[in-house]
Amino acid sequence: MADAVRYRGVFEYEDGSWTATSPDVPGAITWGRSMAGARKHLIEAIASLLDVEDEVVGLGEVKFVFPNHETLTAIIEQNRAARQDLEEAQAAATEALVKAIKSARRDVDLSLRDAAEITGVSFQRVQQVEKELAEA
């Protein structure tokens, strides 16, 4: 689905079923007894409205709404934001690790094990990073 166009989806849970809409495609509204069913039906609805094959439609940003449980809705959004922050921090940590290994090994000429010790990773990880740098 790498070539699929991604649309936003809003999934609202109430009375034991999910209502699914897409703010990007007016009239795209459907439902399902399960999240998976509602997701499948929303993709089908979007594809039908746009007169394209289901395979070229995907969902990108998804929002979940629980009308009778606003606290859950807020917690889900907090979780999403925290996970995004974590992914960004992980990417920054990986970038810093690569720079540290590169400098420790090439500029300071530290041994594999000493580079591992100062960066807090295994010597195997240092080897892996060096291999990736060599292949880049």
For residue range 58-95, list pLDDT tens digits in order. Answer: 999 999 999 989 899 899 999 999 999 999 999 999 99
Q: Residue 68: its pLDDT value, please?
A: 84
Please give the pLDDT value at position 62: 94
128: CB partners within 8 A, 6+ apart: none
In angstroms, how far apart are the furthest CA atoms of the chain? 65
Structure tokens at 4: 């699929």
| The predicted structure's pLDDT at residue 37 | 97
Helices (H), the chain: 35-50, 70-102, 112-119, 123-135
Q: Which pLDDT does position 2 carry in this prediction?
A: 55
Residues in the chain predicted with pLDDT less than 70, given as ranges, are 1-2
Residue 61, C-beta contacts closer than 8 angstroms, at least 6 positions apart: 6, 8, 9
- pTM, rounded to two decimals: 0.68
- The per-residue pLDDT for 64 is 93
Look at phi and psi of residue 44 and say left if phi exceeds 0, alpha if psi is from -120 to 50, else beta. Answer: alpha
